[in-house]
Structure 1
Amino acid sequence: MENIAVVLVETLYPENIGSAARACANFGVKDLIVVKPKSLDREKMQAMATKSGLPVLENIKIFENLEEALAPFNYVVGTTARLGRQRKVFETIREAAPDLVTLSQNNKIAILFGNERWGLTNEDLYHCHRVVTIPTTEAASLNVAQAVVIILYELFNQEVEVPFKKPKLATSAELEPMYRLLKETLEAIDYVPHDNVTLWMTTIRRFLSRLELTSQEVRIIQGFCRNLLWHLREKDKKTS
């Protein structure tokens, strides 16, 4: 659990940040990150964190940009209650937990939670390697702090034997330039549909995320893209 971090995106109520800190402490998670919070009222956060969550709250990290917040992480998991076509959710947290625990042996994992009104946006999910959901009845509505408790509980409860360590994956800071270069390359060969670029690139990102790319593999993809772009530009020069 020490390699897992909880990331709260645009949280509206400081009480939920405090409750999330308490949940982190209960399950051995030390890192709590908030991105563009609406309020950081310390008194309200501390009241909900209680004594056990105060150490987590004291070490909270605050960012204004999600990409910057995720830069050090090797794997990013989004959470959502909405299961529409663009969400691309194929598994529950219980189904994903064994693999995530195995990955956490040698990789830093960020678990993203959206705000209390609309959750994570499609733009937020764009940064995720995979997205999980918590099964509930149709009329249910989980508070974000409740969602943090359930997700961490499922991870904490995994008693898996790891036969070997998985290789250390590329960080988000390494992946994002690769995805930008890949997008540029796909646009250069007119392979990206113009009506919904974000949805198309999200599909590409999820596909590549399943490959669990290492730093070396990211450099190979970047090298391929740069070489292809160079040849395309040289071809354009000769024909012009």
Structure 2
Amino acid sequence: MLSNIRIILVQTFHPGNIGAAARAMKTMGLSELVLVNPRQFPDPEATRLAAGAEDLVEDARVVDSLAEAVSDCVQVVGASARLRSLPLPHFDEPDAMARELVEHAAHDPVALVFGRERFGLTNDEIALCSHQVSIPANPDYGILNLSQAVQVLAYEAFTAWRRRPDSGYRPTLPAEERQPSRKQLAYFHEHLSQVMHRSGFITQPHAHTEAHLHTLFARAQPSRRELSLLRGLLASFERHLPRK
């Protein structure tokens, strides 16, 4: 579904903005970048500012006209900082736009179109769109950099996609950030109990201290990394305790 969402940049002046836009796209799972008559491309600055999204820059498709870039799309949304005289349907809220865009992207290609850095899209280019969208911003200073605008709308599209029941989206956590297993927790509590008894912190056989600490760590829900840190702390304490 995300592969059907196309980002189109029209006559980009600064090649670095192409790389920055590619980076914004990749963080949101988008991969299809189309460039309409960029001033300078390929360019080392585009690759440099991609910062990990060089593959999107290398695979970017360059075309001669916006009409060519959107010819197979069923919905084309032009990003505009201001309303034009053309009576196109207009999304005042990017999240509403994104939900509709993703709905169409489930079956057919769609596009988000971004204009030139200085003056955006022309009326003729907006006429090739099916919809417009604006990004709400400070009325006294609503100017967004090209890549920032791409990031905002790409985020909305990604959010609309991941909230769909059929997206199958599951955030991937590094192993050390995941919750510890019951066995790992049991080893930790056993280690903690040994240190408390050997240090003399617990002197009464029926004290409730251990139960309270079990409850405390259950509320805290330490990750595997944090549990490993705590066990390292206990091991450090143990080295200073007298041997039995």
Please state which band the TM-score falls in when normalised by the shorter chain: 0.5 to 0.7
* Paired residue secondary structure (1:55): helix
Cα deviation, residue 129, structure 1:
1.0
**Partner AA of 1:144 in structure 2:** L
Q: Aligned partners of 1:84 and 1:70: how far apart in 2?
A: 20
Q: 1:94 maps to what in 2?
A: 95
Q: Is 1:120 equivalent to 2:118 in the alignment?
A: no
Distance 2:14 2:38 in 1: 8
Deviation at 1:100?
A: 1.3
TM-score normalised per structure 1: 0.64
Cα distance in 2 for partners of 1:84, 1:68 equals 23
Gaps of 5+ in 1: 163-240
1:92–1:133: 8 Å Cα contact kept in structure 2?
A: yes
1:63 paired with 2:63, answer: yes
Which residue is 2:73 aligned to? 73
Compute the RMSD of aligned alpha carbons: 1.5
| Alignment of structure 1 residues 1-240 onto 2, 5 Å | 1-51=2-52, 53-86=53-86, 88=88, 89-138=90-139, 139-158=141-160, 159-161=163-165
Cα distance change of structure 1 residues 43 and 156 upon mapping to structure 2, 3 Å threshold: same
What amino acid maps onto 2:51 in structure 1? Answer: T
Task: Read off the aligned partner of 1:102 and give its amino acid letter.
Answer: E
Q: Does structure 2 retain, via aligned residues, the 8 Å contact 1:87–1:122?
A: no
What letter is aligned with 1:126?
A
Q: Secondary structure at the match of 2:51?
A: helix
Query: Cα deviation per residue 1:124-156 (whole Å; 9 max; x = unaligned)?
Result: 111111111100011220011100000000111
Hey, what's the Cα distance between the residues in 2 that align with 1:145 and 1:61?
A: 18
- The one-letter code matched in structure 2 to 1:60 is A
State the secondary structure of the residue aligned to 1:149. Answer: helix
**CA distance change for structure 1 residues 91 and 112 in 2, over 3 Å: closer, same or farther?**
same
Contact 2:86/2:127 (<8 A) preserved: no
Distance in 2 between residues matched to 1:96 and 1:63, nearest whole Å: 26
**Structure index of larger Rg:** 2
Percent identical residues: 33
Residues 4 and 106 in structure 2, CA contact (< 8 A), matched pair in contact too: yes
| 1:41 CA displacement | 4.8
- The two structures have a TM-score, normalised by structure 2, of 0.63
State how far apart, in whole Å, the 1-side matches of 2:50 and 2:132 are.
27
Any idea what the Cα deviations from partners look like across 1:190-237, whole Å, max 9, x if unmatched? xxxxxxxxxxxxxxxxxxxxxxxxxxxxxxxxxxxxxxxxxxxxxxxx
Partners of 1:122 and 1:128 lie apart in 2 by 10
Which letter does structure 1 place at the counterpart of 2:60?
I
Shift of 1:84: 4.2
Secondary structure, counterpart of 1:68 in structure 2: helix
Q: Alignment partner of 1:111: what SS?
A: strand
